Amino acid sequence: MTRVALLSRSANLAYFQPLLQARDDGLDVAVWPDPACLQAEVAVCWNPPAGVYADMPRLRLIHSIAAGVDNLLAGQDTRGLPVCRVVDPQLAQGMLQYVLWSVLHFHRKLDQALANQARAHWQRGVQVAAGDFRVGVMGLGELGGAIAAFLPSLGYDVHGWSRSPREIAGITVHAGQAAFDGFLAHCDVLICLLPLTDATRGILNARTFAALPQGAAVVNCGRGEHLVPADLIAALQSGHLRGAVLDVFAHEPLPPDDPLWRTPGVVVTPHMATMPTAATVAEQVVANIHRLRHGATLANTVDTSRGY
């Protein structure tokens, strides 16, 4: 029998217990803070307790319940153990829908219409063609690459930025730090879909915002730690930035007294852009547990030195 620990300090993962056991009745599943978690061989996690892996002497596998793993690695000693993530083909579709809504929010001036509605003020904003509205996508991995490749089909002028050179039909790709400012200059709306690493932490900062065109907007559906909130608020209050759509935050839920809730031009959504179904998570976790038992190659492993 394999013991599995469902570990989170910010969410109750108990709903995974019957889903995992339905796929393998030989699993002994414990839910944090049950002390039995510390004797588990497999940790299934979202935002696990600080330092918990070091207290699990039998641990053999660390598994995310999502595509991202930064919250599994931050401040933790993984002891060289394998770390796996969930890959769901539907994630790209969900993220595309969220990004497209965000792009339309600014391209079609829905932000201005909503602000005018609050004042009972009738004013039709000047509309521009999609080809004259530049969309920049930071991060051209599995999700960002698919989204950047789709947007030109709607007529948008799309620019992408990644750490290394890539070729994506229909978009202009800027690669490496030397090309970053040139990329930012071509963004009427900037979409952040980067993984969270030491290099990308705080990348949405005052310098980045200053390099964007006057009146640009920002959409962050990467990780909350990409954003320096005070810098965003300052850029909005100065009028340099027009608005922002934020789906992820360094501390979730976003505290009620956080100024982002009340900053004009900011749309806050509760980390809803996209997520794998619970059934998909359970299937992939159990499949990897079976691979672990039989010494087979694990699926969707992560390079912990890169963070993705």
Question: pLDDT band for position 252 (50/70/90)?
Answer: confident
Question: pLDDT band for position 306 (50/70/90)?
Answer: confident
* Residue 32 · residue 9 · CB < 8 Å: yes
**pLDDT at 30 (0 to 100):** 98
The yes-or-no answer on residue 291 being catalytic is no
Choice among 271, 290, 291, 294 that is catalytic = 271
| Section 227-254 average pLDDT | 97
Query: Rounded to 5 degrees, what are φ and ψ at 162?
Result: -145, 170
pLDDT score of 67 more than 90: no
Average pLDDT, the chain: 95
DSSP state of 116: H
Tell me yes or no: is domain 89-268 CATH 3.40.50.150: no
**pLDDT at 75 (0 to 100):** 86
The yes-or-no answer on residue 271 being catalytic is yes
Can you name the CATH fold of 2-88+276-306?
A: Rossmann fold (3.40.50)
**pLDDT at 27 (0 to 100):** 98
pLDDT tens-digit map of 195-238: 988 899 999 999 999 999 999 999 999 999 999 999 999 999 99
| Section 256-267 average pLDDT | 98
**pLDDT at 68 (0 to 100):** 84
**pLDDT at 235 (0 to 100):** 98
Kindly provide the residue ranges of all beta strands, DSSP E only, lying in the chain, ordered along the sequence.
2-7, 27-31, 42-45, 61-64, 83-84, 134-138, 157-162, 172-175, 189-192, 216-220, 241-246, 266-268
| Section 109-118 average pLDDT | 96
Locate CATH 3.40.50.720 in the chain: 2-88+276-306, 89-268
Query: If 0-12 CB within 10 Å is exposed, 13-18 middle and 19+ buried, where does residue 79 land?
Result: exposed
Question: pLDDT band for position 140 (50/70/90)?
Answer: very high
Q: Which residues of 103-125 are buried (b: 16+ CB within 10 A; e: fewer)?
A: bebbbebebbeeeeeeeeeeeee
Distances (CA, A) of 299 to 26, 48, 83: 21, 21, 10
Which amino acid would we find at residue 275? M
pLDDT score of 18 more than 80: yes
Q: Cα separation of 235 and 115, whole Å?
A: 18
pLDDT score of 307 more than 80: no
Choice among 63, 134, 223, 242 that is catalytic = 223
